[in-house]
């Protein structure tokens, strides 16, 4: 294969690196059949950081994701998030979430969605549920998509009060008030559960 011209090579380089950030300059040089120096000049011009920096960035992103992913497992997917202010999540009800005979979702799943949304919206390393008051207003059925809306009402020293409203289309299915206790990792204290 013939060598590319500079501009083509650079745009391909950008693509390659973003697809696979784990390639050294040496590998890239082989791949594009140019010298290492050329790759380095290209990176310089394109502001592509070196291998180690690229990996580090990926690792840090991955770390963040692990936190939010572990929340998502149970609770649906967070679609909007304004830290310490509000958040929205989406939960699609499947058969496994329902009473088999009636296809009505078990309340604990709706609770779980609301509860973990409250954990997510509070931007502290440790967030535990202190209390919850929930009204289940309307049945939720299989295949319904539940949007849960959390709004932080107040947030002080160590406790946030959050209001959650979950809807299926325009119908409110759940209303809840949560008190969440939060702290930094290092602080020592004893309370609560989630």
Partner DNA sequence: CTCATATTAGTACCAACTACTAAGGGGGAT
Partner DNA sequence: ATCCCCCTTAGTAGTTGGTACTAATATGAG
Which positions touch DNA (CB under 7 A)?
A: 5-6, 9, 24-26, 34-35, 37-38, 40-41, 43-44, 49-52
Q: Which of 2, 52, 184, 188 binds a copy of itself (CB under 8 A)?
A: 52
44 binds, among DNA, a copy of itself, none (CB under 5 to 8 A by kind): DNA
Question: Does residue 61 touch a copy of itself according to CB under 8 A?
Answer: yes
In this structure, are residues 79 and 90 in contact, taking their beta carbons and an 8 Å threshold?
yes
Alpha carbon distance, N-terminus to C-terminus of the chain:
58
* 138-165-177-65 Cα dihedral, nearest 10 degrees: 120
By CB under 8 A, residue 80 contacts a copy of itself = no
Shortest Å, Cβ 52 to a copy of itself: 6
User: In whole angstroms, what is the distance from residue 117 CA to residue 28 CA?
Assistant: 43
1 vs 133, beta carbon nearer DNA? 1
Question: Residue from 3, 18, 56, 79 that binds a copy of itself (CB under 8 A)?
Answer: 56
Per-residue binder mask for a copy of itself (CB under 8 A), 163-192, x = binder: ----------xx----------x----xxx
**CB hemisphere CA count around 35 (13 angstroms):** 3
Given a copy of itself, DNA, none, residue 5, with its beta carbon under 5 to 8 Å by kind, binds DNA
The strand ranges marked E within the chain are 77-82, 86-92, 98-99, 104-105, 126-136, 145-155, 159-168, 171-183
Cβ proximity to a copy of itself: between 41 and 132 the closer is 132
DSSP letter for 95, please.
G
Judged by beta carbon distances under 5 to 8 A according to partner kind, the member of a copy of itself, DNA, none in contact with residue 167 is: none
159 binds a copy of itself (CB under 8 A): no
Size of the site for a copy of itself (CB under 8 A): 63
Compute the distance between CA of residue 84 and CA of residue 182 in angstroms, rounded to an integer: 11
3-state SS assignment for residue 60 = helix
CA 139 centroid distance within chain: 28
């Amino acid at each position: 294969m013939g060598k590319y011209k500079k501009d083509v090579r650079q745009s391909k380089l950008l693509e390659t690196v973003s697809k696979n950030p784990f390639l050294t300059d040496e590998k890239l040089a082989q791949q594009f059949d140019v010298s290492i120096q050329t790759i380095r000049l290209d990176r310089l011009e394109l502001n592509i950081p070196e291998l180690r920096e690229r990996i580090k960035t990926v690792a840090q992103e991955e770390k963040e994701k692990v936190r939010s992913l572990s929340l998502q497992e149970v609770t649906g997917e967070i679609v909007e998030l304004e830290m310490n202010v509000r958040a929205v999540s989406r939960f699609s009800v499947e058969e496994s979430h329902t009473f088999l005979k009636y296809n009505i979702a078990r309340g604990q799943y709706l609770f779980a969605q609301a509860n973990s949304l409250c954990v997510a919206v509070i931007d502290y390393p440790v967030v535990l549920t202190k209390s919850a008051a929930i009204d289940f207003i309307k049945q939720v059925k299989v295949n319904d998509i539940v949007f849960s809306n959390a709004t932080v009402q107040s947030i002080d020293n160590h406790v946030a009060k959050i209001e959650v409203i979950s809807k299926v289309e325009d119908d409110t299915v759940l209303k809840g008030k949560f008190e969440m206790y939060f702290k930094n990792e290092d602080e020592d204290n004893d309370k609560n559960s989630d």
